[in-house]
Amino acid sequence: MRSKLWKWKYERLSEIVIENLSHRAIDAEYLDDSSRVVETLKRIIDKGSTVAVGGSLTLQQTGVIDFLRKYDCSFLDRYSTSDKQKLSEIFKSAFTADYFLASVNALTVKGEIVQLDGFGTRVAPMIFGPEKVVLIVGMNKIVADMDSALKRIKTIAPMNARRLKLHTPCVSTGVCMDCNSTERICESYVVIADSNARRNRYTVILVGEDLGL
């Protein structure tokens, strides 16, 4: 739980980030509390639509996965199976979903959305596919610039590798060893810089808490 001063900082910072995202044709809003994420999604996601998600601790922490399982939508639930064939079908179906929900690895104050992915099942539909992409972002993921974003990503990646029970060198050392493991989670670096060609496709929901890793 952050102190009132952090809440104050997050609110002020969110105003700058939202303004900068708007110049990139990316919608954004700020919630001071993660308990409001689900009610916000009810407003954004049309009933009867198809919804896919990227792998995300934030979506789990904020109750979004549980919400989608009960909501009046066709949820392509990547967490419902560990069967590789079924998972592959879910990942491919995500491209034709109406909505894609995920979080980000870092978001610069200037509004650049910075992602790191292993096989691309999260970043690929984020770039191409669903008409609407909704990103839920704890304010702990806001960074000053691209250098800070890359530094953050490399600091966090070993913890994600451990969380996912992978067999990468960083799980032993706690720091990135720039490996060439077959389980490497750092294969694709993607920056979403702008959405003017598809205005308002993205909605960023900033949350005044520390979420995810």
The residue ranges that bind ligand SF4 (CB under 6 A) are 157-158, 161, 168-170, 176-179, 181, 184-186
Q: How far is the CB of 170 from ligand SF4 (least distance, A)?
A: 3
Nearer to ligand SF4, 173 or 196 (CB): 173
Smaller CB distance to ligand SF4: residue 73 or 161? Answer: 161
Shortest reach from residue 150's CB to ligand SF4, in Å: 12
Least Å distance between CB 105 and ligand SF4? 12
Task: Output the CA–CA distances (angstroms, integers) from residue 140 to 58, 155, 169, in the order listed.
Answer: 12, 13, 26
Task: Report yes or no: 211 and 39 within 8 Å, Cβ to Cβ.
Answer: no
Residue among 20 and 148 whose Cβ is closer to ligand SF4: 148
**Separation CA 42–CA 207 (nearest Å):** 16
From CA 71, how far away is CA 186, in angstroms rounded? 33
Looking at the Cβ atoms of 184 and 201, the one nearer to ligand SF4 is 184
- Asked if 26 and 202 touch (Cβ cutoff 8 Å), the reply is yes
CB of residue 123 to ligand SF4, shortest distance in Å? 15
Nearer to ligand SF4 by Cβ, of 142 and 185: the residue is 185
Distances (CA, A) of 76 to 94, 167, 188: 7, 27, 23
Between 69 and 167, CB nearer to ligand SF4:
167
DSSP 86-149: HHHHHHHHGGG-SEEEE--SEEETT--EEEEESSSTTHHHHHSS-SEEEEEEEGGGEESSHHHH
Least distance to ligand SF4, CB of residue 142, Å: 21
Say how many Å lie between the first and final Cα of the chain, rounded.
15
The minimum distance between CB 160 and ligand SF4, in angstroms, equals 8
